[in-house]
Amino acid sequence: MSFDYDLFVIGGGSGGVRAARVAAGEAGAKVALAEMDRYGGTCVIRGCVPKKLMVFASEFAGLPDEARAYGWDVSLGAFSWDRFRGHLDAELDRLEGIYRRLLANSGVTTFDARARLRDAHTVELSTGEVFTAKHILIATGGRPVRPDIPNAHLGIVSDDIFHLPVLPKSVLIVGGGYIACEFACILHGLGVQVTQFYRGAQILRGFDDEARGLVAEAMLERGIALHLGTNILEMTSADAAPQAGGMGADARDRGGLLPAGEAGKPVWVRDTRGHEGVYDAVLFATGRDPNTADMGLEEIGVGLGRRGEIVVNEYSQTGVPSVYAIGDVTDRVNLTPVAIREAMAFVETVFRANPTPVDHDLIPSAVFTQPELGTIGLTEEQAREREPIEVYCTSFRPMRTAFAGRPDRVLMKLVVSQATRRVLGCHIVAPGAGEMIQLAGIAVKMGATKEDFDRTVAVHPTMSEEIVTMRQPVRHA
């Protein structure tokens, strides 16, 4: 059977673009790609990249106080959201242009259109065009979701943050995952009064308990009003709020009025503790769902999971042999570098006759809170469920901020197998933890033992030297 293309990719994010350009440019396949929005996907346009630039911007707030402790006469003017947004938009335009050029230079035909599957080898575009392909790769990513509560449309989601016309003076962030915590720290650093609700007992569920506890303490110390075991009970626009006596002046007068959520007005909230408040914006960071709606997947036999994720095997292949899926749309490990690795494994498997399963074991990651959290491997809680372990851990005030009189603390932690001596997990809470965990991740991925760490000479004076100088376990489990 003759096809229009060897490969048709649906989705122009990091994973889809990598698969398309490598299949076309290096494997010699005839490839097309359809993207309904901006090229670069969540990571480049509305995720990792703009978020990290906002992290950088927010970190300048504390520099003058620290500089004065070191003898510098420094002051900081007001933060200009307009100026920052202008630079941000220009940078995202530049990066999107790079993605488009990479595809064009690799010989990939692109369509700025929405795509859905008509059958196992046929793609129909929103333009009305129809194409056939020997292989179809779905890389449509995910999207933030609002909770199922009345008036949730009054809130915003993470995608909206980068397009706010005015920076709010006050914000309520709902959620306790890494997106919620990162934006709490970012917005606080930019001068926004931040309140955060999380219904659970501690933020950053799934991360090491000791590490996430230190991040929570640091957020509270910096002035973020973090309320655990708390959720929204009721919300409405501020001008429609009940005239309840419980709304204190501090809640009523929290900030200037600006477009917030779909209503374009500040939002009144009553929480599960019975407290009330008015916020210029409510940010829901309560989860993400895979982008699989109305794509014709189930109609052709592609299996979907409970949250709409595409079910695939270890080679990213669906139940329909010609259809594959990678990235967040499969809800395996939702990280950009993982999607790129899955894309490369897909090309090896399909176009180079080299079946390559995706390796999802021991993936380093970072949470860009302030301080950052870097992690790889098992948490202490996970490890002790599997086997007897030793825990090596230290928490201290780092030299730089201790000299400036700040109370900041950092954490270095290794989880070690008693039987094999392998380092099962490494967890770092510190400025620059993301950079540190990338390098520590190499050793952990290679199967380094605690004695391998011990044999490594420390770089002094640094925070990270503690990773190789901890001699005695703090506990056995």
Q: Which residues are catalytic?
A: 460
Between CA 303 and CA 209 the distance in angstroms is: 35
Closest CA to 340 of 354, 358, 361, 355: 358
Residue 268 bridge partners (DSSP): 236, 278
Task: Sort residue 175 into left (φ over 0), alpha (ψ -120 to 50) or beta.
Answer: left
Paired with 430 in beta bridges are 372
DSSP 269-309: EEETTS-EEEESEEEE---EEES-TTSSHHHHT--B-TTSP
Closest CA to 209 of 452, 422, 384: 384
Q: Residue 303 corresponds to which tokens in the numbers above?
A: 């299996």
- SS3 state at 48: helix
- The rounded distance, in Å, linking the Cα atoms of 257 and 279 is 9
Contact, 16 vs 9, CB < 8 A? yes
> What's the CA gap between 411 and 303, in Å, rounded?
43
3-state DSSP assignment of residue 136: strand
And the tokens for 158? 């993470």
Is residue 266 reached through a cis peptide bond, with omega within 30 degrees of 0 on the bond before it? no
